[in-house]
A and B are shown apart, each in its own frame.
Chain A
């Protein structure tokens, strides 16, 4: 027997949580992808809600690009299931292609075509009718502020302009879902910030955004939700503040005359949730107000005859979250084995 009819009011621009909880625009379960013996994507499952900005955060080689290539149907799915914009990538890849926009990691603009021609070509590739195409090109050139570059060859554009043109191209067909693979790689800080504004504006207009990045601040600043991905696996998923709060309320960094003894003493304190070795000192995660706890810590250590060299108190950043979950710093990229070992050894 059918249940009572529920009228779900859904706004044109889906930005609210009520909507996000309801509709999955990407659903992935048990996705595995191998290159020979190498497992690039190792059994990942996740969902992206309609209307949100969702990030894959992880180092180079974590499997982000492989995952995005499968979701955008450039790579054939090997194992698992992925439904993108309502279509299974393994069964109806051409349906998926019609419903998504993509901005690739590398610049993929023909150097010898003008901005207008780039967009025209893209519109034609997707069989957009001529009038709609022409109208959309003008709209988009205005959106990304390239109106006066209409007839400029792309080889004469700056890095930021190229990126903007590529975003415009990704939006050409008014996709419900836009994939951005490392959207600000190689851009200067100012241009990156502007890029973020564009991405947010696009999202506000109702386009769901799936982005991959290895920049902590980018994931933190842009995303509604983040999945931290490393070695082909999703380590954790959540809103940026949730991930940080899960880690600790505050972080206290100490360098002392005897780190081992310090660790032993502080482990017994109520508010201390975790202690890790970091560089020449200790990083102490606390679930209470650090400014109030710090004097107590200093007093306790003083009583035990341990002297302090350095003290630092801060809120957890995405970097801290990443280090906590992966056991290494993002910029290490697995190259520095010793620091990795230290970090692992320090974890409880």
Chain B
């Protein structure tokens, strides 16, 4: 019989997600607010600054709002996933983890359960951003047929899913190793800065100094954004004066890198959980 124990952890975490109304609403409204405020404000600036750059002929142009919309999905996924493991830390501090640790549930199921619920939350947020983004003028899926939209949404969720798993595993590994939520807060802040800003989420990396460019190339966030843009906008477009191209091969490579990242993070989490003592 297949052990579906991780569904128990998933069930409880989702129960809490819908139960804490403030948490639920803020986590759903926050990405929309990013789009509404940061997106519209920055779009106005970027479009004015880059407005007089002559467009590359024969390449479709997309607005900055469309361009950064993909980045906001990626950013939201990053934040939600990095904080996704914090529930483990609270459980540990409140003594609730003992019940789970003393049960026959294999420890990797705790990791899977938490990761699965974090992934679900990221899916919900990604869909909200896409819908809200289109509502305020982002040109996602421009000129796509219904079938193409469906495939593209699935493609985006696939990327969001594998990316969120990687960071949820990381978050779980850190949470089970730490004693206080404050420590986790600090570590996450430390991690998000380079990951977020040394990426192509909000602006092109072409003008980065070489070191920063190298970081952005191995940055999982860059590969998530590549995937989302490929599915939401296409493989050949220009934005803020830069020509973007992507082929199924480069996108498959990005996905493969995210897969490797997730596998490594799972290894890390598995190791931390094996060593964890909760009494």
| A-to-B contact residues, CB < 8 Å | 65, 69, 72-76, 94, 97-98, 102, 104, 106-110, 112-113, 117, 121-122, 124-127, 169
Contact = CB atoms under 8 A, between A and B. Distances in A.
Contacts of B5: 124-125, 127
A106 B15 CA distance: 23
A108 B277 contact: no
A74 B101 contact: yes
Contacts of A97: 102-104
B277 A125 contact: no
Contacts of B99: 102, 104, 108, 122, 125, 169
Nearest to A97: B104
17 contacts: A74-B101, A74-B102, A74-B279, A75-B279, A94-B104, A97-B102, A97-B104, A108-B95, A112-B16, A122-B103, A124-B7, A125-B104, A126-B103, A127-B3, A127-B5, A127-B104, A169-B99
Contacts of B142: none
Would you list the 9 A-B pairs with minimal beta carbon distance, nearest first?
A: A124-B8, A125-B103, A108-B95, A97-B104, A106-B95, A69-B279, A98-B104, A74-B279, A94-B104
Nearest to A93: B104
Contacts of B95: 104, 106-108
A98 B5 CA distance: 14
B105 interface: yes
Contacts of B135: none
Size class of B's contact patch?
A: 20 to 34
Interface of B: 3, 5, 7-8, 11-12, 15-16, 19-20, 94-96, 98-106, 277-279
A117 to B, nearest CB: 7
A140 B201 CA distance: 54
Chain A interface mostly: loop
Given A113-B15, A127-B3, A72 B104 contact: no
Nearest to A66: B279
A107 B96 CA distance: 8
Q: By CB atoms of chain A within 10 A, which of B94, B105, B277, B279 has the most? A: B279
Contacts of A125: 5, 8, 99-100, 103-105
A110 B97 CA distance: 10
A104 B98 contact: yes
Contacts of A76: 277
Given A102-B99, A108-B94, A126-B104, 12 more contacts: A72-B102, A73-B102, A76-B277, A97-B102, A102-B102, A106-B95, A107-B95, A110-B94, A112-B20, A113-B15, A124-B7, A169-B99
